[in-house]
């Protein structure tokens, strides 16, 4: 459900870390560089990436930037041989869950992984919901969208009818259609949904 990806240019370190996590019952996939990671993994799925910073080609910070720029639900943990404060700040600002120094303690990492998993899933769920709401909105006709915006403003049917200069009955039909398409039962639920999608 939530894969763990290790990216490090040192095969031995990669193997040993993978073996340790395996001892904790966590399955991992290893990559020697950013390019092979990106070509093998769909970053739109939830997952956890543990990235080394110093790597040939695209380095860890750049990969983090790439992942975050693609609006991926993936959680990223930076794991570096020698980090500087500047690097750490940069990583956190770019959206890394944490910035760790090698070697990281297995227990600490497993706790962090659990947390990262939740974040990733949540983030994935949010993204999914978001896109669903967007799909629902997209299914509205322009008139229905217009009516929905008026409804969200808290206006009564007759006010909307007057403003749009159409029959109140027609407004009622549009309103019914909106509720149906947005999969809500009343205006309050609709407002909640829209607010959530705008987070």
Q: What is d(CA 115, CA 130) in angstroms, rounded to the nearest whole number?
A: 22
Q: What is d(CA 57, CA 191) in angstroms, rounded to the nearest whole number?
A: 47
DSSP 166: S
Q: For another protein, which is the closer residue by CB, 109 or 193? A: 109
Binding segment (CB under 8 A) for another protein, from list 66-74, 76-84, 174-182, 189-197: 76-84
- Does residue 114 interact with another protein by CB under 8 A? no
Q: Which residues pair with 3 in a beta bridge?
A: 47
Minimum CB–partner distance for residue 119 and another protein (Å): 24
DSSP 93: H
Binding segment (CB under 8 A) for another protein, from list 37-45, 50-58, 135-143, 181-189: 50-58
DSSP 57: S
Half-sphere exposure (CA, 13 Å, Cβ side) for 27?
3
Q: Which residue of 106, 133, 166, 172 would you call a contact of another protein, by CB under 8 A?
A: 106
Residues that bind another protein (CB under 8 A): 10, 12-13, 15-17, 19-24, 54, 56-57, 81-82, 84, 86, 102-103, 105-106
């Amino acid at each position: 459900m939530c894969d763990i990806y290790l990216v490090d240019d040192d095969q031995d370190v990669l193997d040993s870390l993978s073996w340790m996590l395996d001892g904790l019952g966590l399955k991992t996939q290893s990559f020697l560089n950013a390019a092979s990671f990106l070509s093998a993994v769909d970053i739109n799925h939830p997952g956890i990436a543990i990235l080394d910073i110093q790597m040939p080609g695209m380095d860890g910070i750049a990969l983090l930037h790439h992942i975050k720029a693609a609006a991926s639900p993936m959680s990223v943990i930076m794991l570096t041989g020698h980090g500087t404060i500047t690097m750490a700040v940069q990583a956190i600002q770019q959206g890394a869950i944490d910035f760790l120094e090698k070697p990281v303690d297995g227990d600490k990492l497993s706790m962090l992984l659990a947390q990262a998993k939740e974040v990733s899933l949540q983030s994935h769920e949010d993204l999914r919901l978001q896109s669903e709401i967007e799909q629902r909105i997209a299914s509205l006709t322009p008139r229905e969208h217009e009516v929905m915006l008026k409804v969200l403003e808290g206006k009564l049917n007759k006010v909307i009818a007057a403003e749009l200069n159409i029959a109140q009955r027609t407004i009622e039909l549009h309103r019914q259609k909106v509720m149906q398409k947005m999969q809500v039962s009343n205006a309050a639920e609709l407002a909640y949904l829209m607010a959530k999608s705008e987070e």
